[in-house]
Structure formats: C-alpha cells, structure tokens
Amino acid sequence: MYLYNSVSHKKELFTPNSPELVKMYTCGPTVYHFAHIGNLRTYIMEDVLEKALRYVGYPVKRVMNITDVGHLASDADTGEDKMLKGAKRENKSVMEIAQFYTDAFFADCEKLNIKRPEVVEPATGCIDEFIKIVSTLIEKDYAYVAGGNVYFDTSKLEKYYIFNDHNEEDLAVGVREGVEEDSNKKNRNDFVLWFTKSKFEDQALKWDSPWGVGYPGWHIECSGISMKHLGEDLDIHCGGIDNAFPHHTNEIAQSESYLGHKWCNYWFHVHHLNTDTGKMSKSKGEFLTVSLLEQKGYDPIVYRLFCLQSHYRRNLVFSWENLDNAAVTYEKLIAKIATLKKEGEVDEEALAQLKQRFRTALESDLNTSLAITAVYDVLKANTSDATKLAALADYDQVLCLNLLEAAQKLIKKQAEEEAESADPEIDALIAARTEAKKAKNFAEADRIRDELKARGIEIIDTPQGAKWKRV
C-alpha cells in the first residue's frame, strides 16, 4: 500500500516494522464538548485506513487516547484548560464532563460505522507513565524546570520542524489562537511537559510529581499512551492536519529524545473539513454535530459517504447542499443495489478482478473516491448478480456504508408496500371510483373516497392513475 508520509512529503510504500502486527496510534478527542463533524471526518478517514490495512492483509493494533486533562485553549500551552471550560459551562465536575462526552463521542462513532480502537486510554489513567518520561527527559538534559513548570528544551534538537512543508496557515494554528508569551520558556517553541504553577487555581485534576502537585501537558499524553501500549516503535501515527504542528512535532521531539532512536515511521494527516464561511468551530456559527444531522433527517452514513467521496489530503467544504447531493447519491446507489437478485453462481475470476480494482484504489494513498467509483463499476460489470453482491459485501468491509443492509431494508419496504397495495377489495373500490369519475358521477366518487378514508386509506391521484396508501 502506498501512503503519503508527512515526514518525507512523499507517497511511500507502507512497510511496517513487522508484517505480523501494524502498530497504529490515533490522537483521540478532547472530551470537553461534542465532536463536530470536522473532527469526525478525521476519525472516519482513520477508520478507513485501519480497515484498508486489514483488507490488504495486515493485522492492526490501534490505540487511541482520550484527552481528559492538559489540553489548553491554545495548542501552544496557553489559555484555559478545555476540560475546565467545559465543566464550568455545564456546572459539572471535570470527570463528569469527561465521561459524558467520551460516551457521546463513541455513540457518534457507532452511528458513522467507525470501529472503536482495540485500546482506548484516558490521559488521567497514565500519569505514572508521563512522570517517568518527563523525569528521563530532565536527566538527559532535554527538559528544564522554570517557574514551577517542566519544559522541553527545543534548542537541544538538531531538527525540530519535522513537517516543515505544511502551509503557513496550518503551521500557525497552534500559536495563532490567543498568543500569550510565557517568560519561563528559554526558546519560543519550548513546550510544557508538566504544569505545576498553573495560573488556574481551580484546576480540578492534580497529581503529585517530583516537581510538585500538577498535571501533564497535552503532548506528553500521546507519547506516553502510545509507548505504554505499543512499545518503543510505532508504524503509523494519525491525526488531523492541525495536529502536525505543534502537537505531533512535539510528540516526536520528546519521544525520540526519551527513547534515543527513531519512534514512528509514517505520519498520516487528514485535511480539514471547512464550512463555506471558513473554519469549523464548536463555538461560532452552527455547531455541526451528528445529532444535528439526524435532527435534520439525514442518515449519518450519508455523511460517511460524503467524506469518502473526496481524498483525505484535500480540504473538504461542508454545506447542506453538498450533503443533500451525497444523500441523493446514496439513495440512488442503494436503489440500484436493491435490484440485484441473489441469482447465478459467483464467478470467482470476475470477483477476484473486482476485488483487485478496489484494493488498487485503497493502495493508491487511500483513494476512497476511486474506491466509490469501483462500487459503480461493480454494478455495471458484465457478471452475475451473485458475483456483484459478493463484491459489494467485500468492499463494504472497508467502506462500511451498509450497502447490502440498506438495500435489504429497501427491498423489504418495497415488498411491504406492494403487499399493502395488493388488496383486491380496495383495488375494486378504487376502480369503481375511477369509473364513477369517468361517468361524472362525482357524488359516488366522493362517497367511495370517504368510505376508504374511514378505513384509513388515502387516495392519491397521479397522472398514472389513482394510487393509495394507509395513513
């Protein structure tokens, strides 16, 4: 499989340290609020990546953190702790907020067919791991204590900006929001490993440490949790593009300084979902959540399809109109699949070819739009329906668009509707009404309409004749 690696800025043949097990780490949510659908674009594409790796034959162990402490309003370690902000907003404790929004996050994931990673670890469960890493970094002289906090000293590194070709705007994200100078830092890019002298006296979660009572910085979480569950070598690390700097840059700095060797080989970054007015936000404009999509009558799977239709390394613009287009596409696609009959033999050779087409799309830097095109190619293929159904079932292990289930539901619904309309008595009454109308006997036509209405049947006059439904 070829994947774009943000470190080399090239598409590379993905070669894990051991084909026996791909070690995959994904930055998890900061659980102070609902995830917006932009966050979920990242999780959908990471889910597709994990499933694609499995599809091409690798077993995968995937770890995700839950950020329930230490992520400040600005990624550059300034501003209020996001969790505290959430707790104040809702007048609850930080742990109540964390539990509620962790559950809400996984409920959203389930609706989007995002598989839960094998390991999900909250930061508050790994304080000892973080303290161990920070202590070693101080011993190795990569970190210093100043003004009560422990900082990573970026001047000790040969190369700090690992992902240095990201566009300026993305690089600036972390330092742009609410820039505040921290006079304890020796260098502009130094970052906090452990806070003790917090300016937030009401910080709810604090732990004892060799540097005083405090709490970990956000970046150390992901290094610590990854090493706890995946060891010293990581194959692939994922996140949204805004995480590349400073979060992932700092993760690499501290992990490799701590370990004394290269840590992670491949970095996978998903570009942003924006609105037509700009950046997606939880506080400004419409707060776009999965629940909002549902309230507006969308099947969340339509949003998954919308994401899959474009490449993960392109910004994607969300608008209701764009989502409507995806909804129509999905409806038509399912209607086409519903016409396939479980007939004929599976043509193994044709199936292998169709599978190969899909695999090639995934292996081309996770080209999901090409993978969706492959679905249409299946429908057009000159082969038996049984072969087509087998191919679609195979593809849906990765796409997870409920292709066959949704088609089955539609078939059932159509059958029910047909069964309902196959009522000879009602059909006879409708025919009698049509005759009465023809004969301009409107009193009789109305009488039949009223009789049917009293029996819960509504007549719909269409250019193709009178139809009816139960109401």
Q: Which residues bind ligand AMP (CB under 6 A)?
A: 27, 29-30, 38-39, 41-42, 67, 239-240, 242-243, 270, 272-273, 280
Say which entry of Zn ion, ligand AMP, none residue 42 contacts (CB below 5 to 8 A, set by partner kind): ligand AMP
Say which entry of ligand AMP, Zn ion, none residue 216 contacts (CB below 5 to 8 A, set by partner kind): none
Tokens of 180: 């505040």
Question: Which positions from 310 to 349 touch Zn ion by CB under 5 A, shown as an x/- string?
Answer: ----------------------------------------
> Least separation, in Å, of the C-beta of 193 and Zn ion?
14
Say which entry of Zn ion, ligand AMP, none residue 6 contacts (CB below 5 to 8 A, set by partner kind): none
Q: How far apart are CA 390 and CA 404, in angstroms?
A: 10
Q: How far apart are CA 104 and CA 111, in angstroms?
A: 11
Q: Which is nearer to ligand AMP, 29 or 122 (CB)?
A: 29
The contacts of residue 412 (CB under 8 Å, 6+ apart) are: none
Say which entry of Zn ion, ligand AMP, none residue 265 contacts (CB below 5 to 8 A, set by partner kind): none
Helix (H, G, I), strand (E, B) or coil at 70: coil
Give the number of other Cβ atoms within 10 Å of residue 370's Cβ.
16
Burial 333-364, CB ≥16 within 10 A → b, else e: bbeebbebeeeeebbeebbeebbebbbebbbe
> Least separation, in Å, of the C-beta of 24 and ligand AMP?
14
**Tokens 């162990």 belong to residue:** 61
Q: Which is nearer to ligand AMP, 39 or 250 (CB)?
A: 39
**Segment near Zn ion (CB under 5 A); pick from 20-28, 190-198, 400-408, 415-423:** 20-28
Say which entry of ligand AMP, Zn ion, none residue 171 contacts (CB below 5 to 8 A, set by partner kind): none
> Least separation, in Å, of the C-beta of 312 and ligand AMP?
9
Q: Which is nearer to Zn ion, 222 or 305 (CB)?
A: 222
> Least separation, in Å, of the C-beta of 170 and ligand AMP?
10
Query: What is the secondary structure of 40-58 as a DSSP string?
Result: HHHHHHHHHHHHHHHHTT-
Q: Which is nearer to Zn ion, 226 or 310 (CB)?
A: 226
Q: Which is nearer to Zn ion, 221 or 347 (CB)?
A: 221
Contact 63, 26 (CB under 8 A): yes
Contact 209, 70 (CB under 8 A): no
> Least separation, in Å, of the C-beta of 222 and ligand AMP?
10
Q: Which is nearer to ligand AMP, 42 or 124 (CB)?
A: 42
Contact 13, 265 (CB under 8 A): no
CA nearest 329: which of 284, 259, 388, 379? 379
**Tokens 């972390």 belong to residue:** 174
The contacts of residue 306 (CB under 8 Å, 6+ apart) are: 318, 322, 323, 326
Contact 69, 82 (CB under 8 A): no
With residues binned 3-state (H G I as helix, E B as strand, rest as coil), the percentages for the chain, rounded to 5, are: 50, 20, 35
Phi-psi region of 410 (alpha: psi -120 to 50; beta: other; left: phi over 0): alpha
Say which entry of ligand AMP, Zn ion, none residue 280 contacts (CB below 5 to 8 A, set by partner kind): ligand AMP
Say which entry of Zn ion, ligand AMP, none residue 222 contacts (CB below 5 to 8 A, set by partner kind): Zn ion
> Least separation, in Å, of the C-beta of 28 and Zn ion?
7
> Least separation, in Å, of the C-beta of 192 and Zn ion?
15
> Least separation, in Å, of the C-beta of 311 and Zn ion?
23
Q: How far apart are CA 214 and CA 332, in angstroms?
A: 56
> Least separation, in Å, of the C-beta of 34 and ligand AMP?
10
Question: Which positions from 163 to 202 touch Zn ion by CB under 5 A, shown as an x/- string?
Answer: ----------------------------------------
Q: Which is nearer to ligand AMP, 6 or 209 (CB)?
A: 6
Residue closest to ligand AMP (Cβ):
240
CA nearest 4: which of 416, 403, 363, 426? 363
Q: Which of residues 205-224 bind Zn ion (CB under 5 A)?
A: 222
**Segment near Zn ion (CB under 5 A); pick from 24-32, 305-313, 356-364, 369-377:** 24-32
Chain CA centroid to CA 207, Å = 32
> Least separation, in Å, of the C-beta of 286 and ligand AMP?
14
Contact 403, 96 (CB under 8 A): no
Q: Which is nearer to ligand AMP, 229 or 247 (CB)?
A: 247
Does residue 27 interact with Zn ion by CB under 5 A?
A: yes
Q: Which is nearer to ligand AMP, 270 or 354 (CB)?
A: 270
> Least separation, in Å, of the C-beta of 431 and ligand AMP?
57
Pairing relationship of beta strands 78-81 and 72-74 according to DSSP bridges: antiparallel
| Cα dihedral across residues 288, 292, 297, 299: positive or negative | positive
Q: How far apart are CA 165 and CA 245, in angstroms?
A: 11
Residue ranges that bind Zn ion, judged by CB under 5 A? 27, 222
